[in-house]
Structure 1
Amino acid sequence: MKRIYSGFARSGLRIAPLLAALVLAGCAALPHQQAQSTMRAPVQADFVMPGSDPWPEANWWQQFSDSQLDQLVTLALQNSPSLETVKARIDTARASVDLTRAQAGATLDLNTSVSRQRFSANTIYPPPFGGNIFNEGRMTLDFHYDFDWWGKQKAALEAALGRHRAAEAETAGAAQTLIAAVSETYFQYQADLARLALAKQDEGVRQQLVTLQQQRVRAGLEAGETAEPLTADLESAHQQVLALENDAATTLNQLRGLVGVRGDAFPALAARPLPQANGGLPANLPLNLVGRRADIAAAREQIYAAGEEVKQAKAEFYPDINLAAFVGVDSLDLGTMFKNGSHILGVTPALSLPIFHSGALQANLRGAEANVTLAVAQYNQTLQQAVQEVNDAALRLKGTADEATPLNNALAARQRDAALFGQQARAGLADGRNSLRARAVALSLQDQQLQLQTRALIARVDLYKALGGGYRDAAASPATAAAAR
């Protein structure tokens, strides 16, 4: 055995210079590096207004203090099929990381085989082998090691890790999108219920006006045709009630679909007053937006993964060196398999030289570099969309706040008129029609107020989502951004 090992050592020393020469000669020429795209960074001028409010918390929907909304969000996060789809991407990316990690470095396998074979008497096997049957046993420990001198395996692992982190960020973004959709649909449902209650009150007021007018017609105080416009208004009010009932049922069905539960599992929802939608943009918006949006984090990780794949493609231009070895026993007689003389040993250094593959390697590298350019373009597009979403939600929220003041003033004036006319009717100075008309106008203004408040709430939820919904990316640092480039 010692002579066998020493013979292998001497052979290795003799071929080492040859391997070194082949390594130096076997490197394909790298092409000139292409100009790289630049990741854009947001600036204060991108945003329509400054801000001083805090960033949204991870459980931002709980600030509305609505236990029904809290329950719906919890159910949606547990049951949504859309989230299950995105979570499956994480599992796929994680499996890719595990596979890439397992394929790198050294492997050691134990292989055992037993075969019964008749050797031909008319080939290379002399007697007593030729023409006879033998039972051959073989047991080896097989070792393989790939020398990652050029960082190809490391780059492949880093690329897989980048894809995995991107999938995790995409899942967080999908969760925020779902939470925002559930919140907006819930508030729309509550608005439908509140508007339906107002519409029923308005229908009652219109019915009283028709009744009073018909009494005056029967008393000969008014012409008969004067009741027709009031009857038409009553029909319009009834049609509005039916439309809002249908809207509420449709919105509730949409909410059921978002939450992902059916039948008795869906909670019974009671009417709740709409909360106020206060707040604005946070401070340090340009600096922190990149680290607060899950989709931006995912886009940046895709750039990082694509950059590592470029490194992997460049490593393909250099020789691939690996070492295979085995040690064990082999015998044509199972009875002597573990006796002296049955030992076997082998070492196989392997060298793969990319001599005539320059065209394919360069095409592969160009494709990897094009993927980086594409990833950077998608990152910049995602960032631009994020800025637009923030500005859009902020402007809509500010617009509803501006509209609220004159609308509230008009409603207060009409409510004062209704109260004054009501006092006159109770004092016998009027028949109550003016009071009912003022109430109808006030109810119409209250309906506008509800619609405005709903728009403000939806704008507020959209702003929470546009600001990342409480997502925090610890890797969003200038150093990481530079590494991704």
Structure 2
Amino acid sequence: MINKKLLVATAASAMLAACAGLPGKPQPPKLNKEVPMAGVNTPANGKWPDAQWWKRYNDPQLDALIDLALKGSPTLAAAQTRFDSAVQTVRAASAAAGVRADANATWTRQRISDSGLIPPQFLGFNWYSQADLGLKFSYTFDWWGKQHAQIESVVDQMHAAEAENAAAGLALTTAVADAYFGLQSDQARLEVAQVVTRGAVKIRELSELRVKSGIDPQDHLSQADSDVALAREQIVQLEGSAKLRRVALAALVGVSPEQLPALQSKPLPIVDAQLPANVSIDLIARRPDIIASRWQVESAARSVDQARAEFFPDITINALAGLSAIDMSKLMRASSSVFNFGPALHLPIFDGGLIRARYGISQAQLDSAVASYNTTLLDAARDLATQALTAQQINALRQERNTQLVAAKAQFDSALAREKQGLTDLRVPLQVDVTYQQQLDAMLVLNTQAISADIAMAKALGGGYVPSTKPEQTN
């Protein structure tokens, strides 16, 4: 009786000693509840993008390219691999937390030494066989939540991988759309440049006739030659840009440039990108990079709980049922059965500060995850504000450029009417038409920039991402 009391007292003293250095329960991390967008004064009449946001452009060619890219992208395959790995980690952690059963079967043949502690002549044999067949059970009580925290941590990592997968898909689809419309823009601008070149060539022909006739000085012909060379240079630049965009588009889609489907030239869509209402609050639940970072915070917080639970003792119940015999013919008899059952206590007392160091590491990782989350919010705010202000500026520039375009068209009509009346030579309406085409090219550039801003806005707004599970709000 005294021995039992002494044992209980010793165990209690050991538990108190082990828990004496237990850190206090950590406070939940303080996280921002909204994206800092204050001071960005832009229209807020826009809508949140859908999951297939590119469908709003009503372009079957773009739809086919994005479908092709989503099927064969190595980037998405790598992201999916990370997610699959996280799923298997969750399964492994869940399995480790349950009851464990192991079946063991051994057979050994052994010779007893003639010079050993028990001489074989006393036993009557030198060689003997040992056969064991057993089933071992063990279960560790999760009284302190360590196993639960570990499972929750890896589940949070799985959710983070899922969000990172969505972010990779969004980056791919936006890159494909931007490259596609860039190619369409080059094709449209190339047609304008060819019109400008034809006009410059005709002006040069008329200038040459006037110089040969002595009406105009040689300088007029030199200027016309310069204008033709400049117009042709624009064609060379646009043709080269179109080829490079095809190469980039093929790489994004995952095929060679020769395998890229034939793309017909189409008018650029007219877009008007605007922010939706309540964007600073709702964006947190819609951007996959923010969601992924948020899950990383959750996972790190659970890791802190797991590291703190290491300060407490573990109690495991072990049980064994089996058969043991030195004669294989007697192994399956009831008299060969063996059983044991009992608890086991693991109590960390003197570990050289290892447990406390692990706890400190987990706390540092949580602080790092929180800092990364806050940085992600700031980056999201900067990205979204940049795209919103860019779209607003482009809209203002398009209005002014449209005014210039209307004026240039009116000047061309007036110059053409005067030429038909014989009041001026043909060079004047040709030159005015070149100016009009140049204004048209500038408008195409602005429309292309507007589309790029609209695509970037869809990406900055999360591309219609809806998480399968939302992280809990810990602050």
Query: Deviation at 1:92?
Result: 2.0
Is the contact made by 1:105 and 1:147 (CA closer than 8 Å) also made in structure 2? no
- Would you say the 8 A contact 2:159–2:469 is kept in 1? no
One-letter amino acid of the counterpart of residue 240, structure 2: N
Q: Which of 371, 376, 384 is equivalent to 1:390?
A: 384
Q: What does residue 72 of structure 1 align with? A: 65
Deviates most, 316-325 or 127-136: 127-136
What percentage of aligned pairs have identical amino acids? Answer: 33
Distance in 2, Cα, partners of 1:240 & 1:271: 19
What is the rounded CA distance, in whole Å, between the counterparts of 1:17 and 1:132 in structure 2?
46
* 2:74 match: 81
1:162, 1:304 within 8 Å by CA — same for their partners in 2? yes
In structure 2, give the amino acid aligned to 1:41.
Answer: K
Task: Determine which of 402, 410, 420 is the counterpart of 1:416.
Answer: 410
RMSD: 2.3
Q: Secondary structure at the match of 1:470?
A: coil
* 1:448-467: CA deviation from partner (whole Å, max 9, x where unpaired): 10110111110111111001
* Matching of residue 90 in structure 1 with residue 90 in structure 2: no
Are 1:183 and 2:152 matched, yes or no?
A: no
Distance in 2, matches of 1:94 and 1:175, equals 19
1:143 maps onto 2:137 in alignment: yes
SS at match of 1:481: coil
Q: 1:407·1:445 contact (CA, 8 Å) conserved in 2?
A: yes
Q: Say which SS state the counterpart of residue 353 (structure 2) adopts.
A: helix
Q: 1:82, CA displacement in angstroms?
A: 1.5
- In 1: Cα distance, 2:285 partner to 2:179 partner: 28
> Is this contact kept in 2: 1:330–1:342, CA < 8 A?
yes
1:165 to 159, 165, 173: 159
Matches within 5 A, 1:294-443: 294-357=288-351, 359-443=353-437
Deviation of 1:124 (Å): 4.3
1:100 aligns with 2:93: yes
Q: CA deviation at 1:120?
A: 2.7
Q: Deviations over 1:216-241 (max 9, x none)?
A: 22233223332110111111111111
1:446 and 1:412 map into 2 onto residues whose CA distance is: 10
Please name the residue that 1:38 is paired with: 30
Say whether 1:288 aligns with 2:279: no
Deviation at 1:94, TM superposition (A): 1.6
Q: Which residue of 2 aligns with 1:51?
A: 44
Contact 2:136/2:319 (<8 A) preserved? yes
| Equivalent pair of 1:26/1:354 in contact (CA under 8 Å) | no
- Segments of structure 1 that go 5 or more residues without pairing to the other structure are 1-12
TM-score of the superposition, structure 1-length normalised?
Answer: 0.91
Matching residue within 129, 146, 154 for 1:152? 146
Give secondary structure in 2 for the equivalent of 1:57. coil
Distance 1:46 1:216, change over 3 A: closer
> Which of 104, 115, 137 is the aligned partner of 1:111?
104
Task: For 2:308 and 2:199, locate their aligned partners in 1 and report how far apart those are by CA, in whole Å.
Answer: 79
Structure 1 residues 129 and 181, CA, compared in 2 at 3 Å: closer, same or farther? Answer: farther
Q: Distance in 2 between matches of 1:14 and 1:264?
A: 85
8 Å CA contact 1:299, 1:382 repeated in 2 = yes
Q: Which residue of 1 aligns with 2:12?
A: 21
Q: Report 1:211-290 matches (<5 A).
A: 211-262=205-256, 264-290=258-284
CA contact (8 A) 2:37 2:385 kept: no
Residue 308 of structure 2 aligns to which amino acid in structure 1? K
1:142-169, CA deviations, whole angstroms, 9 ceiling, x for partnerless residues?
Answer: 1111111111111111000011110110
In structure 2, distance between residues paired with 1:50 and 1:412:
27
Deviation at 1:79, TM superposition (A): 1.3
Query: Which whole-Å CA distance do the structure 1 matches of 2:95 and 2:25 have between them?
Result: 31
Distance of aligned partners of 1:424 and 1:31 in 2 relative to their CA distance in 1, 3 Å threshold:
same
TM-score under structure 2 length normalisation = 0.93
For residue 3 of structure 1, what is the aligned residue in structure 2?
none
How far apart are residue 329 of structure 1 and its match? 0.7
Using a 3 Å threshold, how does the CA distance of structure 1 residues 23 and 297 change in structure 2: closer, same or farther?
farther
> Retained in 2: the 8 A contact 1:144–1:325?
yes
CA 1:348–1:14: 2 relative to 1, 3 Å = farther
Q: Cα 1:15–1:292, aligned 2, differ >3 Å: closer, same or farther?
A: farther
* Contact kept? 1:319, 1:353, Cα under 8 Å: yes
Counterpart pick for 1:196 among 190, 193, 197:
190
